[in-house]
Amino acid sequence: MSPVSTFRPHGNLQASHDRQRGSAASRGYGRRWQRVRTQFLLEHPVCQCDDPECQRPATEVDHIQPHRGDYDLFWDEANWQALTKECHSRKTRREGGRTY
């Protein structure tokens, strides 16, 4: 039996966008970031979103102020917060950015 393909109406747009923005590593999210991110989440295990009732385990490290490629802002821990995937996606949408 052959696998069923997933319906992705905007799949071609996603692929085009991914080629333009480069790899995660080329944008600063390489091995160093993965190590630091893991440590940050160990130190901040609960979502730090603005919903006091959230209190779910954090899975993402968010740049409070989008760094837009600014190296110093990217690595500034004072600009980081631990969020759930859902809270991070919601914040990114509000800022007009991509959620993936």
The structural domains of the chain, with segments of one domain joined by +, span: 48-100
Per-residue tokens: 42 = 């160990």
Inter-CA distances, 65 with 22, 68, 79, Å = 21, 9, 6
> Which band of pLDDT confidence, cut at 50, 70 and 90, is reported for residue 99?
very low
- Cα 85 to Cα 91: distance, rounded to the nearest angstrom: 10
Predicted pLDDT of residue 100:
38
Q: Where is pLDDT greater, at 92 or 4?
A: 92
Global pTM value: 0.71
- pLDDT tens-place string over residues 38-90: 999 999 999 999 999 999 999 999 999 998 889 999 999 999 999 999 999 99
Main-chain dihedrals φ then ψ at residue 63, nearest 5 degrees: -85, 110
